[in-house]
Amino acid sequence: MLKILCFILSFLLIFSMPVSAETEGEGKNDALSLSAASAVLIDAKSGKVLYEADADVKSPPASITKVMSLILIFEAIENGQFSFDTVLTCSETAAALGGSQIWLEPGETMSVHDLLKAVAVVSANDATVLLAEAVAGSEESFVALMNEKAKALGMNNTNFENSTGLDSENHYSSAYDVAVMSAELLKHKKITEYSTIWMDSLRNGESELVNTNRLVKFYEGCTGLKTGTTSKAGYCLSASAERDGLSLIAVVMSAPSSNDRFSSAQKLLNFGFANYKNIEIKPDQTEKMYTEVKKGTKKKVELEAVGNISALVKKSVKGEVEMQAVYPETLTAPLKKGSKVGEIVYTLNGEQLGTIPITLKEDISKLTVFSAFKGLLLSLFTL
């Protein structure tokens, strides 16, 4: 029966899936012909806005709210508050939630792992509140943490009144703020193990799960992330995808239909992948760097630049990446290995792409009478 249901659902979704590959235009609402009240496309790594349409307008976020809930849940797991294997017992409060749910009963037990599947795949409100209670003791206390986190992330057009996204008078966010918290959630690498599940089940196969985000199945490189729908919010979506090292987040708010939210998100992602790329930059380790040392046991010290940067550039931009090493001509001892003394600045056609720090490769002690005498003796014996 499960296989037959899965086949029917897949068949229906394939033939209802809108196809779009528009990649022209940037920065105007009609440039991509989006069917949504507001939208934004950002680079997940840098946070750079690649396309926006009324991205700061406040509107109900519906279940995209759960992106923030998931951030706090994953932080709690990583901080050791509980684990994926921890078994939680459903409260009366969590069981009483309406909207999307997995029909938890008061006193029913379920692992954090399975509850996360329920939240990420079918947007279960009861599972969300149960996890919120595990983090903060109550949903009210959890919502306070959500608003604190939103403020810390610079989400200036957001206020949460619940952990689920159910319509509430003073519960709102914006396309840009949703993109910001989506990028924060993606920093928790484990999330994509849940957000990319297409079909699964709970309760030993008794409860079937089909992802509410059909881009997971039908869009190349999709990594999630969260859908949202209420009568007040309309149809919302935060869609993330990665191709060739480029990670994008497209947010669509208040679309008039489910098809519109998916087609609009798809247009945004197509635009990003068609017009932008990530380039990896590493310092040239064959070029040695030195600077003079004053009052030290050595007259010069070797420097090093370790690390790399990932830079977002337009595919249409021509030119070579240029670098400039910036560090002082002289330093005064004592000097400590690993201390930052400068940076390598990388630019493309005059635009800065990023920097890599320049550090000391060794310790240099301060010159004293004793160390100077010791050095003199060593020089005499080596003559």
The catalytic site residues sit at 63, 66, 123
3-state secondary structure string, the chain? CHHHHHHHHHHHHHHHCCCCCCCCCCCCCCCCCCCCCEEEEEECCCCCEEEEECCCCCECCHHHHHHHHHHHHHHHHHCCCCCCCCEEECCHHHHCCCCCCCCCCCCCEEEHHHHHHHHHHHCCHHHHHHHHHHHHCCHHHHHHHHHHHHHHCCCCCCECCCCCCCCCCCCEECHHHHHHHHHHHHCCCCHHHHHCCCEEEECCCCEEEECCCCHHHHCCCEEEEEEEEECCCEEEEEEEEEECCEEEEEEEEEECCHHHHHHHHHHHHHHHHHHEEEEEECCCCCCCEEEEEECECCCEEEEEECCCEEEEEECCCCCCEEEEEECCCEEECCECCCCEEEEEEEEECCEEEEEEEEEECCCECECCHHHHHHHHHHHHHCC
